[in-house]
């Protein structure tokens, strides 16, 4: 096994939350628990999970459906497994409409949950490792990157990219909402041997931003201080 998958459990019922945490940690997952919708969104932004287990019924203004909608609106594409209290078709449909990938009705057997988690992670990784959809286009918020023509678009605005800029943007589009360190980016785009002292990456990032923001669009290529860069929506 490589790096442990990170699972965000959003559940306000303590007994269930701690049962899930213990079970998932035992299975080798890294687990974060949030007991409110607002905290779930913060947690997902600060430390993006590979999968979210999301209870529909949460106290406060942001319930599970709303968490789901906001994650999807922010461009997050990780699998989301909804937990519903009752076996009600309306809940399930609402959950799937909000962007959930699958749902589980409480009470459930832990083994069943594990099977779903594994299946969702597998499916997601397959999707990630593939080229984008049949149309060859990656999408994040209003930004699209066409791997056939090698043009990027902000909405309808077409952006021409140099080869390096294209490769750099492609790397981010393949890892949305993920912090990519300077070392990782340098290694992927320029290879191992590139001198570490150079500011070539900073120059390329700033060129890419200039292209991507030429129409006054909000910044999508964020600097994560002390860590690297991430393709994500500006924090509100
Ligand atoms: Ca609940």
User: Per-residue pLDDT tens for 152-204?
Assistant: 999 999 999 988 899 999 999 988 888 888 877 887 787 655 555 668 888 89
pLDDT(90) > 80: no
Average pLDDT over residues 130-134: 60
DSSP class of 142? T
Distance 202 CA to ligand 1 centre (A): 45
Alpha-carbon torsion (168, 171, 177, 181), positive or negative? negative
Distance 12 CA to ligand 1 centre (A): 5
Q: What's residue 3's pLDDT? A: 66
Could you give the C-alpha distances from 12 to 100, 152, 194, 206, 222, in angstroms and in order? 19, 42, 48, 42, 32
DSSP class of 233? P
Distance 221 CA to ligand 1 centre (A): 35
Distance 59 CA to ligand 1 centre (A): 7
pLDDT(72) > 80: yes
Distance 83 CA to ligand 1 centre (A): 9
pLDDT in tens, 4-39: 899 999 999 999 999 999 999 999 999 999 999 999
Q: What's residue 236's pLDDT? A: 53
Model confidence band, residue 136 (pLDDT cutoffs 50, 70, 90): confident
Average pLDDT over the chain, rounded to an integer: 87
State the Cα torsion 69-39-178-26 to the nearest 10°: -110
């Amino acid at each position: 096994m490589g790096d442990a998958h990170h699972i965000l459990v959003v559940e306000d019922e303590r007994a269930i939350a701690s049962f899930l945490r213990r079970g998932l940690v035992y299975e080798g997952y890294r687990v974060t628990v949030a007991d409110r919708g607002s905290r779930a969104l913060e947690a997902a932004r600060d430390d993006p999970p590979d999968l979210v287990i999301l209870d529909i019924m949460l106290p406060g203004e942001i319930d599970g459906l709303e968490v789901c909608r906001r994650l999807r609106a922010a461009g997050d594409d990780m699998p989301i497994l909804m937990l519903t209290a009752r076996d009600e078709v309306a809940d399930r449909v609402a959950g799937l409409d909000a962007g959930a990938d699958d749902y589980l009705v409480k009470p459930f057997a832990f083994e069943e949950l594990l099977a779903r988690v594994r299946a969702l992670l597998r499916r997601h990784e397959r999707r990630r490792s593939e080229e984008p959809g049949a149309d060859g286009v990656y999408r994040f918020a209003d930004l699209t990157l066409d791997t056939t023509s090698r043009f990027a678009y902000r909405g309808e605005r077409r952006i021409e990219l140099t080869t390096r800029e294209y490769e750099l943007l492609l790397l981010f589009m393949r890892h949305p909402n993920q912090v990519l360190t300077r070392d990782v980016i340098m290694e992927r785009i320029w290879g191992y041997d590139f001198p570490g002292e150079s500011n070539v990456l900073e120059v390329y990032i700033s060129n890419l931003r200039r292209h991507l923001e030429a129409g006054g669009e909000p910044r999508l290529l964020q600097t994560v201080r002390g860590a690297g860069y991430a393709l994500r929506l500006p924090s509100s």
